[in-house]
Amino acid sequence: MQKREQGKSCGAAAGNGTPPPKRGRPFGSTAASVASASAADSVAPSTLLGPSLQVHNSFSEQNNKRIVLALQSGLKSELTWALNTLTLLSFKEKDDIRKDACLAKIPGLLDALLQIIDDWRDIALPKEHRKGHRARTLGANSVVTGFGNEYEALGSNTLLPQSGLGSGSSAAEIPGQKNTSKRRRSEWWLDEDGLFNLDDEGRAEKQQCAVAASNIIRNFSFMPENEIAMAQHRHCLETVFQCIEDHIIEDEELVTNAIETIVNLAPLLDLRIFSSPKPSYIKITEKSAVQAIMGMLGSPVKAWHCAASEFLGRMIINPDNEPLFLPFVPQMYKRLVDILSLQAFDAQAAAIGALYNLVDVNMDCRLKLASERWAVDRMLKVIKTPHPVPEVCRKAAMIIEHLASDPQNRISLLAYENSFAEILFSDGRHSDTFARILFELTSKPNNKIAALTAVNEL
């Protein structure tokens, strides 16, 4: 349980010290990359670095209101200028310190960016894919049902056709109606997408603006000074999770930006915010948020299931979020074992990281993972290959040690005793860990085995 305390202390001390590097962090945002960049500059001349766009440090302070108003205006030229400006401000280039890119210093900026994404999502789905209206059968034999515009029948001598009614409607059975074939203005309005329709070019521009806004939000999530504000912003989380939930029909780049955003915010994220009294803009619950992540975990897209694995690994160590993930633990570790079979090193690293935290905090996963087919084999393969990142191999060995510490797993793990002994004598980096594993398996016999031995002796 030490990782939980470390996770909490890490989130509480986000402003103290250098934060750990995040996946896909822009170049120059960590101390190591800054050092490598300075070393590269000393070797290569500046003429070989290519063009570089610079933004003055006081630009945001002088134009923060104009940026927000440009985003809210909806005008193409103003919107393009604002998105381009924010894209520059949200990236850290080399050792440039973009303190003016803090969301707290620009009131209303995050809401304005989210509104651009919401505007695109309102028109993204074709009309034939939207949920149709439910047929109304209440009062089917009445002249006026109270739904729609049928109140107009009260002021006229003729009965208007009642939309959405069954074949038993009295209005449809009255002979001599002259207006049954005519369509009312309200029906025309509902059948059309709206008065100001967008052509294909207009929809493409709206989509590009939404993707650019999501990319800016993703870039902001890399900055430690923005993490708390974004993790506590319900509208931001609802929009991001809705994009992830609709990953099958949504723009791929928009979904990728959304999943990377929540991975960066995961250490500070509390899913109970979706049931909090804060104003809600999109109907997202804790369960639907977890289901959206599970959908990404099962996706064949490598970037998506890697990010989902990393997100689950970071979220499960938070005791406030653990009850929300418990119903999905069986699906979770089975899919993570499947990801271990992939040849991609980053996918294996994400799956090992998630399993490492999962077996530490969840006893049910610890008991069932040992008996899961291919689970131990694939973790041993990661160690023997070995994985290019030594920390991944160490975590894989620690997972097996966690499994060996439970008496109920000893029968399953004794089948790998020869493999454990081979690593013990051939790999000095993990010899201590596998020595402890063999000690757990051999020096403390299981009560069931001891009982069976006693029965056989009798």
- pLDDT tens for 220-255 read 998 888 889 999 999 999 999 999 999 998 899 999
Residue 94 above 70 pLDDT? Answer: no
pLDDT at res. 367:
82
Cα dihedral 42→47→52→55 (10° resolution): 70
Residues 325-338 have a mean pLDDT of 90
pLDDT at res. 446:
53
Q: How confident is the model at residue 3 (pLDDT cuts 50, 70, 90)?
A: low
Residue 55 above 70 pLDDT? Answer: no
Task: Tell me how far apart the terminal alpha carbons of the chain are, to the nearest angstrom.
Answer: 44
Q: How confident is the model at residue 159 (pLDDT cuts 50, 70, 90)?
A: very low
CATH top class, domain 59-91+98-125+199-326:
mainly alpha
Overall pTM > 0.75: no
In Å, what is the CA distance from 25 to each residue of 124, 216, 312, 353? Answer: 29, 13, 19, 18
The pLDDT tens digits for 343-378 are 899 999 999 999 999 888 878 788 888 888 889 999
Give the fold, CATH level 3, of 330-449. Answer: Leucine-rich Repeat Variant (1.25.10)
Nearest to 253 by CA among 209, 193, 199: 209
pLDDT at res. 329:
86
d(CA 98, CA 95): 9
Q: Confirm whether 59-91+98-125+199-326 and 330-449 share one CATH topology.
A: yes
d(CA 223, CA 233): 16
Q: pLDDT higher for 380 or 193?
A: 380
- Considering only 67-81, 132-146, 355-369, which range has the smallest mean pLDDT? 132-146
How many beta carbons lie within 10 A of that of residue 386, not counting itself? 15
Residue 23 above 80 pLDDT? Answer: no
Domain parsing of the chain, residue ranges: 59-91+98-125+199-326, 330-449
- Considering only 64-73, 217-226, 242-251, 436-445, which range has the smallest mean pLDDT? 436-445
pLDDT at res. 25:
41
Residues 33-37 have a mean pLDDT of 42
- Considering only 20-29, 286-295, 302-311, 327-336, which range has the smallest mean pLDDT? 20-29
pLDDT at res. 270:
92
- The answer for 74, left when phi > 0, alpha when psi is -120 to 50, beta otherwise, is left
